[in-house]
Amino acid sequence: METIIIIVFLAGYLAITLEHNLKIDKLIPALAMMAILWAIIALTHMDVFEVNTELRELEPTHLDEILLHHLGKTAEILVFLLGAMTIVEIIDYFDGFATIKGFIRTKSKRKLLWLFSILAFILSAIIDNLTATIVLITILQKVIKDRDTRLWFAGMIIITANAGGAWSPIGDVTTTMLWIANKVSALQLVEHVLLPSIVCMVVPVLIASRFKAFTGSLDNDIETVEEPKSKYGATMLYLGLSAIVFVPFFKTVTHLPPYVGMMLSLAVVATFAEIYSNSKFSLSNVEGEGDDTVGHHSPVHASLSKIELPSILFFLGILLAVAALESLGMLFHYAEGLNEAIPNTDIVVMLFGIGSAVIDNVPLVAASLGMFSEPLDNPLWHFIAYSAGTGGSMLIIGSAAGVVAMGMEKIDFFWYFKNIAWLALIGFVSGAITFILLRDFVLNA
């Protein structure tokens, strides 16, 4: 029966990986795979276990209990993401991200490369790498008219956004998963992964800055900075970003799960959004410029209608599918076999990073949570956060940032593989070496 379980999982996994070829949204095979796996377990009365991380052994449990346990852990992640996504959409409702364009005043391509790279690195650590990529490529399309030049910038944004998301507990879904699962703490994650992530960003940008695509100046003039459609745009941008950054501090002080802090942040941001919206703001008019032709409606309701629910359902499916394998003890035994075959865990984790370029990093990290039982803030978890977050840059389909950039700019898979992938590989390896040196000779000295 375990063979059938593995076949179902691999078939679902393959369908997720071939999403673009099959033209089927990846949430469909994820949800189907999850439901079928748990149905097989229930119908065949297979034994299920809970991993005792302290004793490093499996403890028998009941199906209802283990399913409820995994659903609770998954729900923590999903509710957290829903809150973060809603805050980002509220910022966008007030056109807050237009404020960022005000920082772009140079025509030098090399300076623009560094500016976009630094913005991607910082923004992705706060609003996640996917959203940061969408925001910056939207701005890029207004600043750079030549598409060939823009493709190079988009490729570098993918690398730097993924690097920025790796060191922050709120910067990437995988780091958020590790943080919520109490595998890493916010301060220790930053301490161990920030410098390797900076190296992962800086090395490719330094190399690329010598390329012909980034020499000289733009032919077109930088567009005049557009005023946000709302006079509250800048205020909502800074308020929203501050509210998201507040969440790790809230968890540190209260020791409550991160989604509680995110719900508090959402409540604060939503309150100001409603207040400002009641001041006769609309997407086409600002108070004093005529009647509200659009008609007042709640910015919170509008934002909730725009969040990425397909992504939420995908995470639900894939996390509970991996949980099924964990409950059967498969991941635990697989980890034991892997440790015997490759005693060096650094190599294993780097293989995880390379693997995340081919298949989604979310199930890889979910699997690692069931495979390893190291305690909170063990360097293994920090290295997994780095590898899973940055390894996906090596292929354009290897990360959410890459997939969205591919769609927005119609980037060809093979163009990216030829021109950007090797830069991402150099950055990934450079950062990994930095992590190992930092761990062995500085932090453990």
Model pLDDT for residues 116-155, shown as the tens digit of each residue: 999 999 999 998 888 889 889 988 888 888 888 899 999 9
In the structure, what pLDDT confidence band is assigned to residue 96 with cuts at 50, 70 and 90?
A: confident
Name the H helices within 278-360. 299-304, 309-327, 330-341, 345-355
What number is the average pLDDT over the span 265-288?
72
**426 pLDDT higher than 90:** yes
Model pLDDT for residues 43-74, shown as the tens digit of each residue: 998 888 876 655 556 777 888 889 998 999 89
Task: Give the pLDDT confidence score for residue 144 in this predicted structure.
Answer: 86
Cα 261 to chain centroid distance, Å, stands at 19
* Whole-number Å distance between alpha carbons of 160 and 5: 38
**291 pLDDT higher than 50:** no
84 or 281: which leads in pLDDT = 84
Q: How many CB atoms sit inside 10 A of residue 305's CB?
A: 9
Cα 250 to chain centroid distance, Å, stands at 21
Nearest to 339 by CA among 327, 328, 352, 348: 348
Q: At what angle do helices 109-127 and 129-143 cross, to 10 degrees?
A: 150
3-class secondary-structure state, position 68: helix
Task: Give the pLDDT confidence score for residue 123 in this predicted structure.
Answer: 92
Nearest to 353 by CA among 322, 392, 401: 392
**31 pLDDT higher than 80:** yes
Model pLDDT for residues 191-208, shown as the tens digit of each residue: 999 999 999 999 999 999
Contact 58, 50 (CB under 8 A): yes
In the structure, what pLDDT confidence band is assigned to residue 285 with cuts at 50, 70 and 90?
A: very low
* Whole-number Å distance between alpha carbons of 163 and 393: 9
Model pLDDT for residues 392-424, shown as the tens digit of each residue: 899 887 888 888 888 888 888 889 999 999 999
What number is the average pLDDT over the span 164-177?
91
In the structure, what pLDDT confidence band is assigned to residue 223 with cuts at 50, 70 and 90?
A: low
**286 pLDDT higher than 80:** no
336 or 194: which leads in pLDDT = 194
**230 pLDDT higher than 80:** no
Question: Mean of the per-residue pLDDT values for the chain?
Answer: 85
Least confident of 72-76, 89-93, 282-286: 282-286
**307 pLDDT higher than 80:** yes
**436 pLDDT higher than 90:** yes
Task: Give the pLDDT confidence score for residue 90 in this predicted structure.
Answer: 92
* Whole-number Å distance between alpha carbons of 171 and 89: 16
| Angle, CA 424 vertex, CA 419 and CA 426 arms, to 5° | 105
